[in-house]
Amino acid sequence: MKTHVRIMMLGDLMGEPGLAMFAKHCPQLILQHSIDMVIVNGENSSSNGRGISPKIVEFLKKHGAHVITTGNHIWHNKDIIPYLEEGHEDVLRPANFPAGCPGKGITVFKTASGVQVAVINVQGRVFMKEQLDCPFKSMDTMLSFAKYKTPIIVVDFHAEVTSEKLGMGLYLDGKVSCVVGTHTHVPTADARIFPFGTAYITDLGMSGAYNSMIGMKAETVLPNFLTQMPSRFAVDKRAPFILSGIWIEVEVATGKAVKIEQIKIIDDIMNLE
C-alpha cells in the first residue's frame, strides 16, 4: 500500500463557468500532481448558481470528482432530494442539518490504491440563516465514527466568517488530516499545516468568472448594496475565469498532512461539454 496519499479539494463551482473550468483543468491537475482523490464543492453548480442536480453529479464524476460537498444551497435544486434519499454517498450535505433531512454528512471513499479517506461536510452558524446544530459538537460525533474507518479525515467547513473557520481548524488540529473553508468564494492566503499535523486554509475560493462578485454579475448585485432593494442575481459567464483550491499530501499510517499547496488557474477559454 502507498505510504502517502494526495487529495485535491476545489472550491465552490459557480454555474456553467465553474463546471467548464473543472472539466477542462481537473484531469490535467490529477496528472500534474499525482492526485489520488478529488473533492469539490458543488452546491452552486446549477445554471442559476444555486444547488446541484444528479446530472451535474454525473458530469463532475466523469471529469474526475470522487466526492462532492455542499452547504446552505444544497436544497435549491429539488432534483437532488430523491438522489440523496436513495442513499448515494458521492454527494454530502452538511452533517449538522437536522437528522430528518435526506443524505449524509460523512462518507468513506477508497482510492484506486486501496487507501480509505473519510470526508466530512459541516456548516457554520455565524451569520448563516439556517438554524443548525453546533458544528463543533457535530464534528465530535462524526469523528467517533470516522476514526474507526481510517486515520485520513478531511473536512469541508462551509461557513461565513474567518474566525469560525479558523476556530474549527484549530479545534480539529491533530484530529483530522485537513480542514478547508468554503462558502465565501474568495481564496485566502493562509494555507498551512498546524502544529499537530492538520492542513488548513480559511477558504478554497471558487471556480467561475474572475471579475465577478463571487461568481455573479456585478451589475445584478450592486443595486442591492446601493438601494437595499431586492435584485435578481445572475451568474457571470464572461471571461476570464478562475479555478481555485488546494492539494495536500497525507501520511497513510498517521493521517498527518505533510504538504499543502494552493491551486489558482486563470483561463480565458470556457468550453462546456
Question: What values do phi and psi take at 145, rounded to 5?
Answer: -85, -45
Burial 36-71 (b: 16+ CB within 10 A, else e): bbbbbbbbbbbeebbbbbbebbebbeebbbbbbbbb
Residues 6+ apart with CB under 8 A from 217: 233, 234, 235, 236
Is 73 in the active site? yes
Tell me, what amino acid is at 57?
V
**CB-based contact 46:76 (threshold 8 Å):** yes
Q: What is the dihedral of CA 222, 225, 229, 234, to 10 degrees?
A: 30
Name the catalytic one among 25, 66, 73, 183.
Answer: 73
Please state the separation of Cα 208 from the chain's center in Å: 14
Catalytic residues: 73
